Amino acid sequence: MTKKAGSKQPTKGGFNFSSVFPYIAVPLALVVGWALYTFVLGDPANFEGGDPIKGHPHNVLGTVHKGGFIVPLLIAVNLIVWIFFIERFISIMMAKGKGSVAGFVRSVKGMLAGGDVNGALAACDKQRGSVAAVLKAGLLKYREMEENTDLDKETKITAIKQELEEATALELPMLSKNLVILSTCGSLGVLVGLLGTVKGMISSFEAMATAGAPDATALSLGISEALINTFLGIMASAIAIILYSFFNTRIDAMTYAMDEANFTVAQTFASKH
């Protein structure tokens, strides 16, 4: 069986770095979070008497360490948010291609209106983004249908639309890949932070429940633990939600450009043939 012209578009479903990146990044963030908590925040120099367990913290690092075992988890969540921000930012900028996507689509529309399919294909090769990849698949099918004398007009238009839809279906999952991790961190940060908050409040109430005068040191440490975990959890969630919305907005803009380009290719063929 001969290979369709439109099938020259490389598929995105095979092995790629974005697919394995979470399996590397998440464990690495957990290890780094634990290392920062143990060796940086837990440095004996940050505490009175050099005792991270019973010593009073000298500085902010020691105070954060007093947040307890939840802190390294929250550090890891914050690291994951920033790691996947960088990964998605690079991926989406590469998918955007060179120059303005809107300007590229206008340029291709003008070329198609003038019947310059080869020029439009050359523009796709130059732009090299996801929109260009979808357009190129459609334009290759467009040119194939122009040369085909066996099919009727409606069948040709349907074939072009199908090729564009298939190319779009290959590109869109790559744009949204790993965004679910940012979405998860948006919820997970608050929940883990709340767990640390509850643990800190339990410690505070235990200090108040002692016979006689409350243990002021234990009480203050419990409150510090609660507030530190609350702060780290809210920070991770807020940043994750903002970044998730930012990337979704960019993806929506590219999806709209794909839809506009797809409509233009099909309509141009229908009006000229």
In a domain, 13, yes or no: no
Model-level pTM?
A: 0.85
**Radius of gyration (C-alpha) of the chain in whole angstroms:** 28
Instruction: Report phi then psi at 30, rounded to 5.
Output: -65, -40
In a domain, 83, yes or no: yes
In a domain, 77, yes or no: yes
Residues spanned by the domain of 31: 18-272
List the pLDDT tens digit at each of the 273 positions of the chain.
344 444 444 444 444 677 889 999 999 999 999 999 999 999 999 988 888 887 888 888 988 998 889 999 999 999 999 999 999 999 999 999 998 888 999 999 899 888 899 999 999 999 989 999 999 999 999 999 988 888 888 999 999 999 999 999 999 988 998 999 999 999 999 999 999 999 888 878 877 776 456 667 777 777 888 899 999 999 999 999 999 999 999 999 999 999 998 999 999 988 887
In a domain, 34, yes or no: yes
In a domain, 2, yes or no: no
3-state secondary structure 112-151: HHCCCHHHHHHHHHHHCCHHHHHHHHHHHHHHHHHHCCCC
Could you tell me the CA-to-CA distances from 103 to 106, 109, 127 in Å, in that order? 5, 10, 11
For the record, the structure tokens of 232 come out as 């780290």
In a domain, 246, yes or no: yes
pLDDT at site 10: 42
Q: Into how many domains does the chain fold?
A: 1
Could you tell me the CA-to-CA distances from 272 to 113, 115, 123, 137, 264 in Å, in that order? 9, 9, 21, 19, 12
Q: Which residues pair with 57 in a beta bridge?
A: 47
For the record, the structure tokens of 149 come out as 């004398």
In a domain, 7, yes or no: no
Sheet strands (E) in 13-169? none
In a domain, 161, yes or no: yes
Q: How would DSSP label each residue in 224-265?
A: HHHHHHHHHHHHHHHHHHHHHHHHHHHHHHHHHHHHHHHHHH
